[in-house]
Structure 1
């Protein structure tokens, strides 16, 4: 079944990642209500119902959606989801942690909307495109992805960032730290020994990698828009391409961690 034979549904999308998926499936024009951060093409007719953590739930209900797509990938969205349930609104709640979860969500949304073939095609293309970006390095580059500067908050083990980096031949410098993200001191950033720091501040109007550079760590810094790393959807490819390009420029000296381990076992 495809979009030529499916009866359009009235959709509400409350996070940018879901809106990006709907646009990739070709049904952005089905969206009657969207959060204020969603910038996918085709949402011009959608009523804006506020930022993801401060959704006007009554406005969502007033839009009479057949289905509300929400996500727990944004910390704090539990309250919004509870409000949707209190109003008896039909919901599809996503909670991706890995890239594999993201691909599964694309397929799930496609199936839910009667667009199974399209969902499969979009997911398969994203997976193939990401696979083509993988490279081999003298050692896996250690990358720290920073979501916010004050306090420093970065992606940790249970983040799609970890799997995305692994697919590129790199590692999340915080892969052993539990959780999806964590506040860090500057000393903890230094201890993680990143080869590359990524400025991908969520909700920031302007990325300022120079703020990170001014900390004096001597580590290369690149800016990747939140749309390319902070949204578990098809636009992860944008961030992956930027990461792959930056990783290819690194001069990877032997890891100090490896050297320390060798010294301890000598």
Structure 2
């Protein structure tokens, strides 16, 4: 099978299935696993070069609608008659279902079932630990600083927070992504600040990006250990790697 992935989360699903050797091309942002480094890059996920996609003669393209603007990729695939499926996971259960859906499309039913079971077991294992937490810390997740974007109720990071025995401070907002301001964050008095800026490597984020903000002192932190700089690739992509992020988060906050 010759498979093309048009976004990082799809590429990571292929690896979780143990099928990344089927990949013959990926988008520019796909960076895991390392075995894909030599594959043809087809452009950023919002500007895929469809001529290159067609030249690679894929048996299946894994398209996505996880970011606004990806619709044009799907439209181009339809226009050109290129075989594809569309993944658009918004929750942990969606990711589990996408493992099965992708494996089915590749005639790899057993791998899909095994991967979905493994995914569910790992998630439930952390959830069981989380249920034993009596004092659940509140978390402020920051996806972007200016303007501030943070996940709301309809987002996997609210699920991740709950599984880790914590609470997303914006879990009351019925949106996947919330645009707000620093004053709103301060008023909710989070126990931890989790910085995972989309598209920015962990090494480029500094705690003083937060400590210099007006009113930071009102949070009453003894030091900056309550500010967690996290790997955006483990928290901002709807892929099975969210489990790695979840397990890491649990250790950090408890």
Shorter-normalised TM range: 0.7 to 0.9
Identify the residue that residue 147 of structure 2 maps to in structure 1: 151
Match of 2:248 among 242, 251, 256: 242
Does residue 187 (structure 1) correspond to residue 183 (structure 2)? The answer is yes
Q: 1:98 aligns with which of 74, 91, 95?
A: 91
Name stretches of at least 5 consecutive residues in structure 2 with no aligned partner: none
How many Å apart are 1:45 and its aligned residue?
4.4
Q: Distance in 1 between matches of 2:113 and 2:104?
A: 9
User: What value does the CA root-mean-square deviation take over the aligned residues?
Assistant: 1.7
Contact 2:161 2:168 in 1 (8 A): yes
Q: TM-score, normalised by structure 1?
A: 0.84
2:18 aligned partner: 26
Quote how far apart the aligned CAs of 1:13 are.
Answer: 0.2
Match of 2:157 among 158, 161, 180: 161
Instruction: Pick which of 142-151 and 128-137 moved more.
Output: 128-137
Give the Cα–Cα distance (whole angstroms) in 2 for the partners of residues 82 and 141 of structure 1: 44
- Residue 132 in structure 1 maps to residue 125 in structure 2: yes
TM-aligned CA distance change 1:60 to 1:192, over 3 Å: farther
Question: Aligned ranges for residues 23-172 of structure 1 at < 5 Å?
Answer: 23-41=15-33, 42-133=35-126, 134-135=129-130, 136-172=132-168
The answer (yes or no) to whether the contact 1:199–1:208 under 8 Å persists in 2 is: no
Q: Which runs of 5+ in 1 are unaligned?
A: 1-8, 249-266
Q: TM-score, normalised by structure 2?
A: 0.88
Give the helix-richer structure, 1 or 2. Answer: 2
| Structure-2 change in CA distance of 1:213 and 1:132 (3 Å) | farther
User: 1:44-68, CA deviations, whole angstroms, 9 ceiling, x for partnerless residues?
Assistant: 4421011112222222122111111
Where has structure 1 moved over 4 Å in runs of 4 or more? Answer: none
Query: How many residues align structurally?
Result: 240
Cα shift at 1:213: 3.1
Instruction: Tell me the distance in 2 between the aligned counterparts of 1:53 and 1:204.
Output: 17
